[in-house]
Amino acid sequence: MDTQKIYSQLLSQFPDIEIYQNHPLAPYTTVKIGGPADIFIYTKNSKDFTEILKYLYGKDNVFSARKPLKPFYEGASTSKNSLPGEIPIIILGNGSNILISDTGIRGIVFKNSSNKIEILPNNQIKVDSGVQLPQLINFSLDHGLVGLEEFAYIPSSVGGAVFGNIHGFDKHDFNQFLDSIEIFDLITNELMSYRANKLKWSYDYSSLQGQRNLIVVSATLNLHPGDTKAAKQKYQDIIGKKITNQSMKSLGCVFKNPLESVCLPIWGEKKGAGWIIDNELNLKGTSIGDAQISPLHANFILNNGHSTATDYLKLINLVQSQMQTKYNFQFELEIKLFGKF
């Protein structure tokens, strides 16, 4: 099925929702890089978000003639999966860990900006997946609940934080605060609740990454009352430390830190990817076009104006090729690639 037909159907079915064709994606990423999406859907609440998903995948609707395949979520690669008719779907949160190709996305891109947050009994908070992490942290502190402040200065949506299981300043993973997750299953076309302890979690990993038919709609978190004045100060202190070397003109850390088992035989201790790129590869500050390995933190690649995805990827490949040559080892990407590269 061609995207023009899908676009026309969506406009007819959802006249009050923002739906566009050939819409630029660069403004929706922290690095401001990327070509257009064939179809771009901007939803502002969970009801609209799930209703369109139901329409696309429900019985007798757009994709009902074929078995629905797994979609992409922020953090997925578009090189392996597609919707029926080779039409991929991507769900963007904050666009903070994705590099979109210069040719953009041949498919449907959702910008999920659902933003409901509510206090529940027993020091729990229920939050929509489109809520930005700083908003959630400030909300929790304003209501006397602490714990999330260690995730300061991470440009992520809640959905992206759950899906990627981000790690905080104190080395806690996001799943340690999760009680349950509300998920829309594209295969069953149903909204379901999963207990967080029934899913698999590890560093920067959730089992949702292998089940892309499961779309995070909301999450319920377990927090606790505490000294909010101290927590707010910690929040500001973390921002103050990070802001000196971690630019928001980037996608965050490009490479995952290598495992201790990799580092010990070479350096005798665990080393971060940024330290290795700076001290062993001497690539800090290197530029290709307007893409630059940050002069402040070598695990960040900046867009200094008009960088293309091609230039950005060339710097990634430069780092990986030099690591391969010098240490016979490849850094694993922490960011994900969307589109054709």
- The H or E element containing residue 209 is none
Domain ranges in the chain are 3-112, 117-243, 260-338
Q: pLDDT confidence of 76, banded at 50, 70, 90? A: very low
Q: Supply the pLDDT for residue 223.
A: 98
Q: pLDDT confidence of 204, banded at 50, 70, 90? A: confident
The pLDDT of residue 87 is above 80:
no
Query: Dihedral sign, CA of 315, 330, 93, 42?
Result: positive
Angle at 96 between CA 155 and CA 302, to 5 degrees: 105
- For 240, the 3-state DSSP assignment is helix
Q: Is the distance from CB of 80 to CB of 38 less than 8 angstroms? A: no
Q: Is the distance from CB of 319 to CB of 280 less than 8 angstroms? A: no
In the CATH hierarchy, which fold is given to the domain comprising 260-338?
A: 3.90.78
Please tell us whether the domain made up of 117-243 is placed in CATH 3.30.200.20.
no
Q: Mean pLDDT highest for which of 13-27, 86-100, 159-173?
A: 13-27
Work out the average pLDDT over 181-209.
Answer: 92
Instruction: Give this prediction's pTM.
Output: 0.88
Question: At which residue do the structure tokens 């899908």 appear?
Answer: 6
The pLDDT of residue 68 is above 80:
no
Which value, in Å, is the radius of gyration of the alpha carbons in the chain?
20
Kindly report the CATH number that applies to the domain delimited by 3-112. Answer: 3.30.43.10
The pLDDT of residue 63 is above 80:
no
127 vs 122: CA distance, rounded Å: 15
Task: Give residues with Cβ within 8 angstroms of 140, minimum separation 6.
Answer: 125, 146, 147, 148, 223
Q: pLDDT confidence of 77, banded at 50, 70, 90? A: very low
Q: Is the distance from CB of 191 to CB of 176 less than 8 angstroms? A: no
Query: Helix crossing, 3-13 with 46-57: angle to 10°?
Result: 130
Q: Is the distance from CB of 318 to CB of 238 less than 8 angstroms? A: no
Question: At which residue do the structure tokens 């605060």 appear?
Answer: 177
